[in-house]
Structure 1
């Protein structure tokens, strides 16, 4: 059974396995540095639907179909789905998984949602409450822009610190039968608010939460950056990355030699005009289920920390002048 360790962490005595992953992305993501690693690259941003939101739901549906196919597991053998997205009341997840008729836990951690989903999924499987579960998260550039920022037709100029919401969905099957990797521990993040109000600079909003949970993990597990092949954040981008390094250096930890950020890796910022990098629930989820899983499979990574990050804002909170608190959830993954 999972054991509490330190102040915020769990260590799993019988680690649940990562059996399979699947990634579905849009055209821009497919044109980026990781393009050849995704399972499916959709060329039509509407995916044949009549709204951006329906297109995002279809991303989730396709990701689940793909991960079931790749794992040779039937949907009837999935006990629960832990899913989330950025849209109000999780409508992308709701309509995306509707026809699978699998018990559903809807989660919201902003862009950290896949980390939250993996953590709760691992607790559920390791506790003997399910044999197989799916963790999934999605985002869509246009549906996020409609909800959080300006209409696309407005043509506003994006500041350097802004990130580009990834169109994509990443799905993971976690179960009791041996897979290519295992989740050996988690450190659940706290809400951290440094008072940043610039919603266009989400890296600055999220970096303090990432630093906090990484520091807490080191303390709870008694480890250092040198104990990991990679420490992978979600979508801090180039601005948030610098802040993360500064905050951890103040606490005596230098992660620069082993750090990777999914938002930075997703796009070629110069060629694709994505400014600070990628973001959205689909960013960390698709990089994890493509590039990172491939590295774990071939043994290039033996032990990693995966820390997707989220900016906890809504259109209402932003319009009322509130700050943008951050959250980050850490998952410790080891290859088998």
Structure 2
């Protein structure tokens, strides 16, 4: 069961992440975390799989992440009690079609780029309470599908601003189990609150999402009494270089400097050399970094305790064209070295 302190659930007997998998595309295969991925493709259109469009390709990417995760866990689809999944496509269609293929009980989740942390928060709470024995948490994004939906079709050839971020063609999947099992313990989860600082620039997601990251971190530290320096790393995703610099400034003003802060959008690519402007983004970005780097490092004992704080911009192509501001949200998952808790 869990103890609730403000917006944070502290698990007396932590559930665990028992298995995970990360998949990505060509750009991700050229990045610094490539060796940690379970599957990488050089053609994200998946022509050999008869994909007719980018949206179908993203669903296939998500399916591969789920299937690899289950294979690593040594279980079949039929043994999964519930899948919590979402993506950036309208009505979360990539996840819908993934679950049509996998035939697993499914609850769709939308948190934009915060979706991986949100699905983990929900799955951990259900597993800790004994309501599910095995739950999948997964999400994805696809550069071409996202550009077409939120900005301009690729054929348009629009220039990208220095503050823009590159939507990762990637997916991540985690299998959650209840307390007492082998895996990376989930010590606590913190559900975020929507923050809106009136940012309207669709090409500056880092500035739009930063207030949410700061808000959730401050609420977590208030609820737990912990300090940033008690963690080996505090991972945000995906603020990129612009949002990360703003977060450092904001947290320092709040008396909570983050000397151990790292951002998934800055980790997944070599930002100076890969032409990704301010870094990576997309629901699949933080999910892939979690599954290719953070969880393996916890399993190996390279980290003892970390925070994973995924951020999302809660807008649509319609609200943006209507001149609406871009609200943000961030959810926090506290993870520990495997075998502790």
Query: Which interval holds the TM-score relative to the shorter structure?
Result: over 0.9
Is 1:240 aligned to residue 243 of structure 2? yes
User: Partners of 2:16 and 2:38 in 1: how far apart?
Assistant: 21
Q: CA deviation at 1:62?
A: 0.6
Q: Distance in 2 between matches of 1:137 and 1:187?
A: 19
Q: 2:296 aligns with which of 272, 294, 297?
A: 294
Aligned partner (choices 213, 216, 227) of residue 213 of structure 1: 216
Residue 252 of structure 2 aligns to a residue whose secondary structure is helix
Partner of 1:275: 277
Alpha-carbon separation, structure 2, partners of 1:99 and 1:57: 10
Once the two structures are superposed, the pairs formed by residues 177-192 of structure 1 within 5 Å of their partners are: 178-192=181-195
Q: Which piece of structure 1 moves more, 175-184 or 129-138?
A: 175-184
Residues of 2 paired with 1:97 and 1:30: CA distance? Answer: 26
How far off is 1:73 after superposition? 1.3
Structure 1: how far apart are the matches of 2:324 and 2:199?
Answer: 9
Mapping of residues 1-336 of structure 1, within 5 Å: 1-5=1-5, 7-48=6-47, 49-176=51-178, 178-255=181-258, 257-335=259-337, 336=339
Gaps of 5+ in 2: none
SS at match of 1:245: helix
User: Quick check: 1:161–1:239 contact (8 Å CA) kept in 2?
Assistant: yes
CA distance in 1: counterparts of 2:175 and 2:271, whole angstroms: 31
- For the residue of structure 2 that corresponds to 1:270, the secondary structure is coil
After superposition, the CA RMSD in angstroms is 0.8
Q: CA deviation at 1:180?
A: 2.9
Give me the whole-angstrom Cα distance separating, in 2, the residues matched to 1:100 and 1:154.
Answer: 35
**Contact 1:206–1:326 at 8 Å: present in 2 too?**
yes
Structure 1 length as normaliser, TM-score? Answer: 0.98
CA offsets per residue over residues 217-242 of structure 1, 9 Å max, x none?
00100000111111000110000001
Q: If the length of structure 2 is used for normalisation, what is the TM-score?
A: 0.97
Task: Tell me the SS of whatever aligns to 1:212.
Answer: helix
Q: After superposition, what is the alpha-carbon deviation per residue over 1:62-106, rounded to whole angstroms, capped at 9, x for unaligned?
A: 111100111101211110000000000010001112122111010
How much has 1:47 moved relative to structure 2?
Answer: 1.2
Report the Cα offset of residue 37 of structure 1: 1.1
The CA deviation at 1:246 is: 1.2
Matched residue SS, 1:310: strand
Equivalenced residues, count? 334
Please say if residues 180 and 296 of structure 1, whose CA atoms lie closer than 8 Å, have aligned partners that are also in contact: no
Question: CA offset at residue 139 of structure 1?
Answer: 0.2
5+ residue gaps, structure 1, are: none
Instruction: After superposition, give the CA deviation of every residue in 1:257-312 in whole Å (9 maximum; x if it has no partner).
Output: 21110000111122110010000000000000011111101101111100011011
Following the alignment from structure 1 to structure 2, what is the Cα–Cα distance between the partners of residues 115 and 22? 15
